[in-house]
Amino acid sequence: MEIPKSLNRLGKTFHCAVEQSTIETRNPWLNLVKSKNKWRVSDGHGKFETRDKYHSREEAMAVLHRHCKTINLSVPVFLINEALRRQIAETGLPLFGEHVTA
């Protein structure tokens, strides 16, 4: 929560604020593991694991996509408007504790 608060303080003068958005991704309960020259898919806890049999990352990703459902993940975003972009380009970002004036 500290980073959004700091970004909101920085953006206040320029009418920018941290907002919520969603991205479509996969539920991250499985991971890819590379052993020697082959790939496998594992949950890291022993409940789901394939043998080291996939010759490419893409083959292993296909297995991951079959077993992980698509979810909409809520993420914070900070969109930089033109005024803040110009401020950063001309004078850089302020140091901690410095006040920004537009």
pLDDT in tens, 39-77: 888 887 878 888 888 888 898 888 888 888 889 999 999
Domain span holding position 51 = 28-68
Cα separation of 81 and 13, whole Å? 11
Span 6-21, mean pLDDT? 91
pLDDT band at 83 (very low <50, low <70, confident <90, very high): very high
pLDDT band at 96 (very low <50, low <70, confident <90, very high): low
Same domain assignment for residues 17 and 32: no
Same domain assignment for residues 62 and 34: yes
Residue 60 tokens, joined: 């292993």
Same domain assignment for residues 36 and 57: yes
Cα 83 from chain centroid?
25
pLDDT of residue 72: 94
Q: What is the pTM of this model?
A: 0.57
Same domain assignment for residues 14 and 42: no
Same domain assignment for residues 57 and 32: yes
- Name the average pLDDT for the chain: 86
In the predicted structure, residue 18 carries a pLDDT above the cut 90: yes
Same domain assignment for residues 38 and 63: yes
Is 21:10 a contact under the CB 8 Å cutoff? no
Is 41:86 a contact under the CB 8 Å cutoff? no
pLDDT of residue 99: 65
Total of domains in the chain: 2
Residue 26 forms beta bridges with which residues? 70
The amino acid sitting at 40 is R
Cα 2 from chain centroid?
17
Is 19:79 a contact under the CB 8 Å cutoff? yes
Same domain assignment for residues 34 and 49: yes
Same domain assignment for residues 64 and 82: no
Same domain assignment for residues 53 and 77: no
pLDDT band at 17 (very low <50, low <70, confident <90, very high): very high
Same domain assignment for residues 39 and 64: yes
